[in-house]
Amino acid sequence: MRRIGMLTSGGDCQALNAAMRGVGKTLLKSGEQVEIYGFLNGYRGLIRSEFKMLSHSDFSGILTQGGTMLGTSRTPFKTIREPDEDGNDKVECMKHTYYKLMLDCLVILGGNGTHKTANLLREEGLNVITLPKTIDNDLWGTDMTFGFQSAVDIATECIDCIHTTASSHGRIFIVEVMGHKVGYLTLNAGMAGGADIILIPEIPYDIDKIVEKIKERERYGSTFTILAVAEGAISKERAAMSKKELKDAMKNYKYPSVSYEIADKLAKETGHEVRVTVPGHTQRGGSPCAYDRVFASRLGAEAGRLILEEKYGFMVGYKNREIVQVPLEEVAGKLKSVDPDAAIIKEAKMLGICFGD
Amino acid sequence: MRRIGMLTSGGDCQALNAAMRGVGKTLLKSGEQVEIYGFLNGYRGLIRSEFKMLSHSDFSGILTQGGTMLGTSRTPFKTIREPDEDGNDKVECMKHTYYKLMLDCLVILGGNGTHKTANLLREEGLNVITLPKTIDNDLWGTDMTFGFQSAVDIATECIDCIHTTASSHGRIFIVEVMGHKVGYLTLNAGMAGGADIILIPEIPYDIDKIVEKIKERERYGSTFTILAVAEGAISKERAAMSKKELKDAMKNYKYPSVSYEIADKLAKETGHEVRVTVPGHTQRGGSPCAYDRVFASRLGAEAGRLILEEKYGFMVGYKNREIVQVPLEEVAGKLKSVDPDAAIIKEAKMLGICFGD
Amino acid sequence: MRRIGMLTSGGDCQALNAAMRGVGKTLLKSGEQVEIYGFLNGYRGLIRSEFKMLSHSDFSGILTQGGTMLGTSRTPFKTIREPDEDGNDKVECMKHTYYKLMLDCLVILGGNGTHKTANLLREEGLNVITLPKTIDNDLWGTDMTFGFQSAVDIATECIDCIHTTASSHGRIFIVEVMGHKVGYLTLNAGMAGGADIILIPEIPYDIDKIVEKIKERERYGSTFTILAVAEGAISKERAAMSKKELKDAMKNYKYPSVSYEIADKLAKETGHEVRVTVPGHTQRGGSPCAYDRVFASRLGAEAGRLILEEKYGFMVGYKNREIVQVPLEEVAGKLKSVDPDAAIIKEAKMLGICFGD
Amino acid sequence: MRRIGMLTSGGDCQALNAAMRGVGKTLLKSGEQVEIYGFLNGYRGLIRSEFKMLSHSDFSGILTQGGTMLGTSRTPFKTIREPDEDGNDKVECMKHTYYKLMLDCLVILGGNGTHKTANLLREEGLNVITLPKTIDNDLWGTDMTFGFQSAVDIATECIDCIHTTASSHGRIFIVEVMGHKVGYLTLNAGMAGGADIILIPEIPYDIDKIVEKIKERERYGSTFTILAVAEGAISKERAAMSKKELKDAMKNYKYPSVSYEIADKLAKETGHEVRVTVPGHTQRGGSPCAYDRVFASRLGAEAGRLILEEKYGFMVGYKNREIVQVPLEEVAGKLKSVDPDAAIIKEAKMLGICFGD
């Protein structure tokens, strides 16, 4: 008898259910005796020993469903070493649940924060296998994460819709795409949506370059301009600041987000109306796209295989079109981000896209 | 030879091109000699005599395209009686263009503001036929406007996406739907998306009722709540104020919109995270839905027929599933809004939806 | 205590779950004691007394789901008066189940065949309320049925996809749309997709008129033509035949459907490649569109209200934008079909659409 | 001054316009003097010297449009060495056009057939750069082709729609997916759509294994089964035949396609209704998905760069997540197909998917 725990942690995204279905089906169809414990609401369920048993029917019909059937939370991540509400040590609680239920392994689906905790549990002696979930595609050790392509689809549709309005009104439109530290989502949605200007955290922008681009477009007869701006887009001035300087500079920041600040400046500089659209959490939601369903299913199946082979301590990742096992200690705490000199950036520039640099 | 002017005015929406295609095809296939002048960027093109001639090929392939091939603007509407940038009387300029080009009729596509101006031109002696365009469905004299159903589709998709995230995280989510004065869009998208609480301008809300509903949901085991909130949702307190009182009360309003204010209050009252999503202008954009394409095509065809029959001074509307001619003087200046006692409201309440009243 | 039976019968369609949710929520939130029995697989479940109890959680999360959570079948309909597999009288079995479970009412969701049986049960003394479900919109007594608009959306998307291929290759394409007797779906999808030729059962076609239209398009420079053809499209020759003549004429019919026959003829007459696409059952599937979700929810809520008021023997329909109660005896056995002289047909012709007549 | 010819050949697919836009924008924004000749309807336009000049505005607004703005045809491919209608040598005609217009290079977008001809032109001394277009993803030398992911999306949506109907009716459904020789599309759409059985040309099927799978599903309580079947799915018996034997065996083949033959057999063996759906050419149509837009844009930009660097004789392909130049002689005449031992097949089997082997 194998006893497997499973949980989803961090912000939700598309294809979490598809990935869990991949693990579950592989285990339950393997011919071995398997019990699967689904912990509720991320690590919180592991801490509190809150779970439900998952059987064949739980994994049926969830391939196409967004969200996570187990619920998720951002607990504990940053406060992992602080005691919980009842004064208990969280890590000890998690270990307690693990040993009490005589688990053979934990399957953990999550992003960067989740992987730090997962690696900590591995260091504490628990068997852990992880799956790379995030719309940001910013996990080190894998070329791709599930959720990403679905989020690109949604952000692209949003830009598509804005396109018709922008061209009808001759306005400047900013679409704010999710991504505080990493710009893959904005870059891809921006290129797919035909954005004229793309601002990502990895390439600090110069507002003058943006104004210049808009004016150049006007000279060539374009009556509208669309910007895809990552939540974490940053100006050259701020990027050059020390942490302390930045904190001071942002003390009385009056905008809800950087998009509104850019909008304000562009309105002043160009004399045009500038509108901001924030699709926000819709980018995490809805049914996963076909790509993510296949990808997450494959990763899930491979995680199931690892469990059956009792190979623990890995994230199941994707490198050079092959599914690979990446040691958890190599993943935790690292961030994958867009290389400003990457081929895709050069290609985008050849197409005339301005990055504000 | 008939000479027809055409223009789209006000905020753009889906199916403007489909409607113009309906008019254009009907006229050009009628066997009569017809010249169609497409004025650019709304009334502005009529004021400045900026237009392009529209031939058969211009109406081909546009059925599915969002936006308007003629461009639009909000000029003049509120400033119709003020002189334009060059000091000229706008109405006189428009009449001048009309007579100079020896037009037989103007086909004007627009919403409430547009219809006021259209009626004014009619009073000035011009032949005018209008088509009811708005995602708000707030035009008097017609059961339906094109753009509305497409906007419902987009706002509903947005709520669908939020649904998966909300249920995964156990949070309260607010989706802010377009509509400053009228709640049809929010009501329909909210019902289609399965929102638990719907706030529209026509039914002022009591924040306590909303809190109560959320707590009731919790008692019954629901870990999340979704609110569809119209841009123009208003509390009972403010709805009871005089214009002056309201203006004073809103003087130092600190929220970007009412959704954020409600979010703030709900967070305090319930202790839960509350997130706001604002799909914004995406609701006006993208390819029209099948319903709007058929509907706008039909209205356009009937407008074409009226022109051929030289019947002027009407909006082509839709009543009791029939396309009808509504005298422009009856339409202009009136607003159609949701009746708080309408059957659909009662049905929504039977389904358990809370309106905060 | 009220005991309500519920079943879905006939071909499935979108928004069946939404409608049942409407009924269920209205009943369960009414404050009265209610038990809901969901019979499985249509009347078959009623005959065999196969059911599951439906509680609040069964109606949660199903608003957006296609299909029917109860399953459906085409039993008994045409064989209603024949004994079932075990030699039992089907009607007696249904009555037996009804009385054994002490039901107060049956809520039956279905199309034309379903309504015949529902009316028969009413005549047998059972309390029945029905909801009009069909993608064909061919139910007498209601302006609209749920499923219809969702099917229009899917068939339209199909034509949209074909459009790009047709225009790229300069070919003739036929999209075969569902509808054996009634052409609403083909008519609306054809108009929404910009089909050049629309063939529906209500307007028998002359193949020469179709060839003529294609040649006329060529003369005007169009390199492709798209036909939306209903499954039940019929030539003038066959429409003029007696039932017996038609049966003889179709004895050795070599085509899978009329679309292929038309394709064959057009290929010979025009010398062009003609391709046929058959979206088939996809038109019944997938998540209901926003319109259908709202519409079905409203109908369901009103059905729930009727039950609470103990008003039986009605189909909940929709006339002139109001939800109405239509006596079942008026609905059963009648078919609503497209009037060849309807305004929408005239408008379609104004737009240049050829119906082959 | 550079003079560049461009053409699209073979079956159309999504993102052809996006790819051409990538080439066009890169060339026109490069600062060099460039003339772009767009040949109409594939090689036919090159043979007959039928073209239109492409300027900046031609490449604007086409990123999201399906089909090809240049038109396409399957000429000449198999008949390349036969004279054309006027008795002229096709290859000589193409060379004549090339030299007459003093072209520096031809940019050719197409699939396998197209690449054979492109390589032949290269051997004849013309400068050629190609881009890999096909929904089949069967081009040798590249991990991915544009059109593929968009087609996967459409075929998946089709299976999604069928899913709700299949589960409501308890039927067996076959969705016939495009792909005569190669199964990538069927495999991916089948996995994304949650098909239970996937039949592809590379893995000959045993009908008994399929029947067995369906019966096993029934034993475990599944009332329906969905098969994704490639157009070119082949039974073990036929796969073992010589070409001549196969030809004889298929002489009086009575089915429109193999799906209908399988349906017939399954109906007999299982006693269930089996329905076939054929999305057909819809799989090639409609707006490209976000992935394809980005991918095709990148390939197009790199093709533009190669032209500016005067590097000819390559297909711009994609290997290990990098855009690469593949010598045309290595691509032409080879087919990439699914390896029956590939990891993805093993993973699909772990998930319980039956391939009939």
Q: Measured between CA atoms, how close is A147 to chain B, in angstroms?
A: 12
Structure-model confidence comparison of residues C2 and D77, the more confident one: C2
Q: How far is CA C285 from the centre of its chain?
A: 12
Average pLDDT of span B338-355: 98
Query: φ, ψ for residue B226 (rounded to 5)?
Result: -115, 130
| Among chain B residues, CA nearest to A44 | B169
Spatial neighbors of C216 by CB under 8 A, at least 6 apart, are none
What would the two tokens of residue D99 be? Answer: 């030299």
Nearest CB to D286; choose among C164, C167, C276? C164
Residue C68 near chain D (CB below 8 Å) = yes
To probe the interface with D, which of A297, A306, A323, A339 has the most D CB atoms within 10 Å?
A: A297
What would the two tokens of residue C112 be? Answer: 């034309």
Whether C151 and C14 have beta carbons less than 8 Å apart is answered as: yes
- Regarding the domain delimited by D2-147+285-331, which CATH topology (the fold level of the hierarchy) does it fall under? Rossmann fold (3.40.50)
3-class secondary structure per residue, C98-124: HHHCCCCEEEEEECHHHHHHHHHHHHC
pLDDT at site C80: 78
For residues B108 and A228, give the distance between their C-alpha atoms in angstroms, rounded to a whole number: 33
Q: Measured between CA atoms, how close is B203 to chain C, in angstroms?
A: 19
Range with lowest mean pLDDT among B166-170, D89-93, D305-309: B166-170
| Among chain D residues, CA nearest to C44 | D169
Thinking of the domain C2-147+286-331, which architecture would CATH place it in?
3-Layer(aba) Sandwich (3.40)
Residue C164 near chain B (CB below 8 Å) = no
Average pLDDT of span D149-173: 94
Residue C343 and residue B56: Cβ atoms within 8 Å? no
Range with lowest mean pLDDT among A304-308, C226-230, D8-12: D8-12
* Sequence ranges of chain C with CATH classification 3.40.50.450: 2-147+286-331
CATH class held by domain B2-147+287-331 = alpha beta
| Among chain D residues, CA nearest to A155 | D290
Spatial neighbors of A233 by CB under 8 A, at least 6 apart, are A183, A186, A199, A200, A201, A205, A258, A259, A262
**pLDDT band (50, 70, 90) for residue D77:** low
Whether C68 and C16 have beta carbons less than 8 Å apart is answered as: yes
Contacts of C285 in chain D (CB under 8 A): 160-165
**pLDDT band (50, 70, 90) for residue B348:** very high
Catalytic residue among A12, A58, A136, A292: A136
Catalytic site residues of D?
A: 136
Nearest CB to A256; choose among B66, B157, B256? B256
Contacts of B278 in chain A (CB under 8 A): 277-278, 280
Catalytic residue among C12, C136, C138, C196: C136
Instruction: Name all chains with 3 or more CB-CB pairs below 8 Å to chain B.
Output: A, C
What would the two tokens of residue D296 be? Answer: 């095709």
Contacts of A286 in chain D (CB under 8 A): none
Residue A63 near chain D (CB below 8 Å) = yes
Beta strands in chain C (DSSP E): 2-8, 34-39, 51-54, 105-110, 128-134, 146-147, 172-177, 197-199, 225-230, 274-277, 314-319, 322-327
* Sequence ranges of chain D with CATH classification 3.40.50.450: 2-147+285-331
Q: Measured between CA atoms, how close is D327 to chain A, in angstroms?
A: 20
In B34-53, the residues whose Cβ lies within 8 Å of chain A are 41
For residues C126 and C120, give the distance between their C-alpha atoms in angstroms, rounded to a whole number: 9
Residue B103 near chain C (CB below 8 Å) = no
Q: Which residue is listed with tokens 């491979």? A: A302
CATH 3.40.50.460 fits B150-284+340-350, yes or no: yes
pLDDT tens readout for residues D273-303: 899 999 999 999 999 999 999 999 999 999 9
pLDDT at site B77: 62
* Sequence ranges of chain B with CATH classification 3.40.50.450: 2-147+287-331
For residues A233 and A256, give the distance between their C-alpha atoms in angstroms, rounded to a whole number: 13
Average pLDDT of span A184-202: 98
Residue A164 and residue B279: Cβ atoms within 8 Å? no
Residue B64 near chain A (CB below 8 Å) = no
pLDDT at site C79: 76
| Among chain D residues, CA nearest to A345 | D298
Residue D154 and residue C163: Cβ atoms within 8 Å? no
What would the two tokens of residue C275 be? Answer: 């391709």
How many separate helices (H) and strands (E) can be counted in chain A? Answer: 13, 12
Query: Mean pLDDT score of chain B, rounded to an integer?
Result: 95
Contacts of D160 in chain A (CB under 8 A): 64
In D267-326, the residues whose Cβ lies within 8 Å of chain A are 289-291, 293-294, 297-298, 301-302, 304-305, 320-323
Q: Measured between CA atoms, how close is C351 to chain B, in angstroms?
A: 5
Residue C161 and residue D12: Cβ atoms within 8 Å? no
Q: Which residue is listed with tokens 């609680």? A: A93
Contacts of B16 in chain A (CB under 8 A): 168
Average pLDDT of span A258-268: 96
Residues in chain D: 357
The model's pTM is 0.96
| Among chain D residues, CA nearest to C255 | D256
pLDDT at site D184: 98
pLDDT tens readout for residues A48-61: 999 999 999 999 99
Nearest to B173 by CA among B157, B187, B184, B161: B161
| Among chain D residues, CA nearest to A296 | D192
Residue D285 and residue C163: Cβ atoms within 8 Å? yes
What would the two tokens of residue B67 be? Answer: 């936006």
Whether B118 and B326 have beta carbons less than 8 Å apart is answered as: no
pLDDT tens readout for residues B236-269: 999 999 999 999 999 989 898 999 999 999 999 9
| Among chain A residues, CA nearest to B257 | A256
- Find the helix packing angle between A290-308 and A148-169, rounded to 10°: 170
Nearest to D281 by CA among D43, D66, D7, D110: D66
| Among chain C residues, CA nearest to D74 | C169
**DSSP result, A35-86:** EEEEETTTHHHHHHT-EEEE-GGGGTT-TT--S-TT-----SGGGTTSB-TT
CA torsion through residues A239, A243, A247, A249, sign: negative
Instruction: Name all chains with 3 or more CB-CB pairs below 8 Å to chain A.
Output: B, D
Residue D122 has pLDDT above 90, yes or no: yes
Nearest CB to D189; choose among A163, A290, A298? A290
Residue C162 near chain D (CB below 8 Å) = yes
For residues C157 and A105, give the distance between their C-alpha atoms in angstroms, rounded to a whole number: 46
Whether D40 and D47 have beta carbons less than 8 Å apart is answered as: no
pLDDT at site B84: 78
In A315-334, the residues whose Cβ lies within 8 Å of chain D are 320-323
Nearest to D279 by CA among C155, C286, C232: C155
Contacts of B29 in chain C (CB under 8 A): 350-352
pLDDT at site B350: 98
Q: Measured between CA atoms, how close is A160 to chain B, in angstroms?
A: 6
Residue C165 and residue D285: Cβ atoms within 8 Å? yes
Average pLDDT of span A98-108: 98
| Among chain A residues, CA nearest to D28 | A351
In tens digits, chain C (357 residues) has pLDDT values of: 999 999 999 999 999 999 999 999 999 999 999 999 999 999 999 999 999 999 999 999 999 999 999 999 987 666 777 887 778 899 999 999 999 999 999 999 999 999 999 999 999 999 999 999 999 999 999 999 999 999 999 999 999 999 999 989 888 999 999 999 999 999 999 999 999 999 999 999 999 999 999 999 999 888 899 999 999 999 999 999 999 999 999 998 989 899 999 999 999 999 998 999 999 999 999 999 999 999 999 999 999 999 999 999 999 999 999 999 999 999 998 999 999 999 999 999 999 999 999
pLDDT at site B149: 98
Q: Measured between CA atoms, how close is B240 to chain A, in angstroms?
A: 30
Residue A165 and residue B67: Cβ atoms within 8 Å? yes
Query: φ, ψ for residue A276 (rounded to 5)?
Result: -115, 135
Q: How many CA within 13 A on the CB side of residue A172? A: 25
Thinking of the domain D152-284+340-350, which architecture would CATH place it in?
3-Layer(aba) Sandwich (3.40)
For residues B98 and B105, give the distance between their C-alpha atoms in angstroms, rounded to a whole number: 8
**How many Cβ atoms are within 10 Å of C216's Cβ, its own excluded?**
14
Range with lowest mean pLDDT among B45-49, B201-205, C300-304, D75-79: D75-79
SS3 category, C231 = coil
Spatial neighbors of A291 by CB under 8 A, at least 6 apart, are A149, A150, D149, D152, D192, D291
Residue D44 has pLDDT above 70, yes or no: yes
**How many Cβ atoms are within 10 Å of A339's Cβ, its own excluded?**
10
SS3 category, C33 = coil
pLDDT at site B323: 96
Residue C29 and residue B352: Cβ atoms within 8 Å? yes
Residue C278 and residue D280: Cβ atoms within 8 Å? yes
Q: Measured between CA atoms, how close is B290 to chain C, in angstroms?
A: 5
In eight-state DSSP terms, residue A354 is: B
Residue C294 and residue B26: Cβ atoms within 8 Å? no
* Residue B354: strand pairing partners: B197
Q: Measured between CA atoms, how close is C188 to chain B, in angstroms?
A: 7
Contacts of B289 in chain C (CB under 8 A): 153, 289
* Sequence ranges of chain D with CATH classification 3.40.50.460: 152-284+340-350
Average pLDDT of span D165-171: 89
What would the two tokens of residue C90 be? Answer: 């089907």
Residue B71 and residue A223: Cβ atoms within 8 Å? yes
Residue A285 has pLDDT above 90, yes or no: yes
Catalytic site residues of B?
A: 136
Residue D12 and residue C170: Cβ atoms within 8 Å? no
